[in-house]
Structure 1
Amino acid sequence: LEIDSAFRIIVNYSGLLYIVIGLWLVTALAYLLDYMTKKDKDISDYKESIGGGVRLAWLVIIFVIIGSGIFLLLDVNVNGNAERYGVISNYLLFNDEWGTHRGYIWRNAIESFHAFSPFKKLFGFGPDTFGIVLLDKTKGNVYGELFDNAHNEYLHYLITVGILGLAAYLTYLVSFVVRCIRRGCSNPCVIAAMMAVVCYSTQAFVNLNLPIATPIMWLMLTLGALGCSGNGQAKDVGN
């Protein structure tokens, strides 16, 4: 999906200039307050802190955004109110055209998985065989393309290594995040590594595991796990 749908909303909004000016003013004010707080203190004694009210407000904003996104997706795809949202509906309506034909790939992949035998559903068709699975099913498609990757890591693993393989991968990721929260929350380096893995795992819903990015994710995962090792205390991975 081309980005012009979002650009049409942003560029045509008359208050865009005032929003930009307001954000610059807020940024300048934040830096000014930060400078006023630090200038009379020894830098070695300064410790950055964020009040509980700010954290609570940020948490509320996150939940509002997530809740709004879920509502919009349900309203468009379940209730059929795509026309209500204009050009935004291009991002919300899941069909064959969604996400540069990702919807088409996903639909055919899911249909192929349903046709698998029980054994193949458990263990998959085999590593790196996604293109083979979809070759005949999508032959002569209207897009004139060959699909050798699901552009969704989890669906890709479901087809190639099956339910058990996908479950093992998800268990590994989830247990890593839980371990970091429980044993490494006092170490910002561990939390940073954990968030890098979380961000990668989120974008993996619509992307493939590129050689230039995936090894870095595994490196962050290793560093986070290392920081959580020892006698229940997070080590200083940053050093």
Structure 2
Amino acid sequence: MSDNTKLKISNGLNEDKYSVKSKFVNFFLLAMFTLFPLFYTDYYYNIRHDKYYFFLVVTAVLVLMIGAVAITNSDSQSGTKDKAESVPWCKKLSFTDYAFGAFILVCTVSTVFSQDPADAFLGLSGRNNGLLLMIFYAVVYFLITRFFCFKNYVFVALAGCSIAIYLLDILNCFYIDPLGMFASLTDEQTITNFTSTIGNKNLMSSFICVVMPVTVAFSVISKNRNHRIVYHISSAFGYMALMTADSYSGILGLGTVFAVLLIWFSRSVARLKRFFLATTIMLLSGKILRLFSFFIGDKSKGISEFQSLLVYSKIIWAAIALFAIITAILFFADSKIPDKTLPLAVPIIIGSIFVACIIAMLFAVYYFSVIDTKTNIGFLKSFLRFNDSWGTHRGYMWIRSFYIFGDFSLYNKLFGCGPDTFATVFEPYFEGLKHYGDSSTNCAHNEYINYLITTGIFGLASYLSIIFGALKGAIKSASKNPIAIAFAVSVISYAVQAVVNLAQPITTPLFIIFIALCEAVARKQKTTE
């Protein structure tokens, strides 16, 4: 079987047992990776609801199709009975499975005993993140983890669709609107909020954080040259879209991913050369964006100061030259000594530097927020000085959220006020938001604080356990099955940007899918072993 159709980068996911149920799961993934991001009905007016209902419908269709196969027994395998069938069902469940079950149980209790169970069930006062959506997430998770089988076309299609999403975002930044999406918006809405077919600029950054890590990782680990070209193109457009999305959450998520991938690939010269090639291409794409901006007269919505440094600064040419030289050296070294493995000390040193940088950043935030609150630190104030105004007044919402949690009863501390009912308990602080130009909010703009308030300690703990369990299984499997790292970095990227972003039915379903894919690879690897 050719490299286009059979997975050769790993023996962990064989395609010889590609069942009907697996086909249905891959069709579902194909729909979520291509149609879902592009789908809308009335421009930006209903875009969240459009994607919410799209996800519910395609999930329901998947359940019906797999259910029909199970009822008719048309997917039975010939030959001897699988040894796993004799194992009790409870022993087949992983840590992540139990964590997901616990999360749904906590959300159910939180919904039933909330002030408005109907609101908590549907997420009417929030962003549709009620119990119903959580149940659908659990269904998708369990179906993917049980029936996923790797096929290249699914992820090549994801890369291809993402190029279209990224290109729309880039064009929209320069007021080029091929879909006519801006026609019904005010000038202020066009400039500050909406882009591509994703919606809010923060959600666009969230989409980039989910998809771009996958394409970068596959551009390194894929053995098919044509596929790698597609992944490189997607990553380059993703980098340009990240520059124009005008949101620091994307920089936070992708910055973490590049550090993780550098550490992960640092022992293999063959993979390290491809990683530096991918990085060089992306940095060059930023300069291509600058050239595009120049030819249309620099008329754009504007790019944040940090992104402007990466696009407009001449210093970046030095970085591009450095990465290009490193890439050339690595290609030369790999040609002379194929499959060369570097000492274990290399990733340890890189990882130590990364950890030291995180500690230094945290100390800087503490220093300029508590010790030195007067020194003018320019645009770094947005990052390093935490107060009510920090992060487009996220500081105000986070601090008041902890006030609310402190006033909660013991029950509410454990189970929260009900899924996606943050607005209900935050209403006393709406008046203070007017100082920042807002009259209300329905989320904390930090997923973890939001889950703490709405589902309590138990809900947040189970949610974090889902992420931890999926990442643990994927990283453990990645040494034998490299595609696991492509799924893991997507989860890492989303989880990091979620510190300053929000859960919603536009990009969070994709995050849940990659959590499921992490667990699916780990489950398959465990079965194989």
- The TM tier, using the shorter chain, reads 0.7 to 0.9
1:54–1:23 Cα change, 3 Å: farther
Structure-2 separation of matches of 1:6 and 1:38: 35
Structure-2 separation of matches of 1:39 and 1:74: 48
Query: Which shifted more, 106-115 or 177-186?
Result: 177-186
Structure-1 separation of matches of 2:320 and 2:419: 50
User: 2:404 pairs with 94, 104, 112, which one?
Assistant: 112
Matches within 5 A, 1:194-233: 194-230=488-524, 232=526
Structure-2 separation of matches of 1:31 and 1:158: 45
Does 2:356 correspond to 1:60?
no
Shift of 1:90: 3.2
Structure-2 separation of matches of 1:58 and 1:81: 32
Structure-2 separation of matches of 1:217 and 1:48: 34
User: 1:137 pairs with 429, 437, 444, which one?
Assistant: 429
Structure-2 separation of matches of 1:233 and 1:55: 29
Query: Which shifted more, 154-163 or 139-148?
Result: 139-148
Structure-2 separation of matches of 1:91 and 1:40: 45
Structure-1 separation of matches of 2:331 and 2:479: 28
Q: Who is 2:244 aligned against? A: none
Shift of 1:74: 1.7
Shift of 1:108: 1.7
Structure-1 separation of matches of 2:523 and 2:497: 27
Structure-1 separation of matches of 2:525 and 2:335: 40
Structure-2 separation of matches of 1:36 and 1:231: 34
Partner of 1:228: helix, strand, or coil?
Answer: helix
1:91–1:39 Cα change, 3 Å: closer
TM-score, with length taken from structure 2: 0.38
User: 1:175 pairs with 469, 494, 510, which one?
Assistant: 469
Q: Who is 1:165 aligned against? A: 459
Q: Deviations over 1:34-91 (max 9, x none)?
A: 44356689xxxx5475554543442233123112102201211232355163442332
RMSD: 3.0
Partner of 1:232: helix, strand, or coil?
Answer: helix
Partner of 2:350: helix, strand, or coil?
Answer: helix
Does 2:325 correspond to 1:29?
yes
Matches within 5 A, 1:139-154: 139=431, 141-142=434-435, 143-154=437-448
Q: Who is 2:370 aligned against? A: 78
Query: Which shifted more, 22-31 or 109-118?
Result: 22-31
Q: Which amino acid aligns with 2:498?
A: A
Partner of 1:138: helix, strand, or coil?
Answer: helix
Structure-2 separation of matches of 1:224 and 1:104: 35
1:146–1:33 Cα change, 3 Å: same
Q: Who is 1:92 aligned against? A: 384
Question: 5+ residue gaps in structure 2?
Answer: 1-246, 249-302
Percent of pairs identical after alignment?
30
Structure-2 separation of matches of 1:163 and 1:191: 29
1:234–1:155 Cα change, 3 Å: farther
Structure-1 separation of matches of 2:319 and 2:503: 35
TM-score, with length taken from structure 1: 0.80
CA contact (8 A) 1:180 1:191 kept: yes
1:51–1:82 Cα change, 3 Å: farther
Question: 5+ residue gaps in structure 1?
Answer: none
CA contact (8 A) 1:122 1:164 kept: yes
Does 2:20 correspond to 1:20?
no
Shift of 1:145: 2.1
Q: Which amino acid aligns with 2:326?
A: A
Q: Which amino acid aligns with 1:198?
A: I
Shift of 1:221: 1.1
1:40–1:165 Cα change, 3 Å: closer
Q: Deviations over 1:139-196 (max 9, x none)?
A: 3632342111111111111111111111111122112222223344332111221121
CA contact (8 A) 1:82 1:93 kept: no
CA contact (8 A) 1:184 1:234 kept: no
Q: Which amino acid aligns with 2:463?
A: Y
Partner of 1:83: helix, strand, or coil?
Answer: coil
CA contact (8 A) 1:228 1:234 kept: no
Q: Which amino acid aligns with 1:145?
A: S
Shift of 1:226: 0.9
Partner of 2:480: helix, strand, or coil?
Answer: coil
Structure-2 separation of matches of 1:150 and 1:29: 44
Structure having greater relative contact order (Cα 8 Å, sep ≥ 6): 2
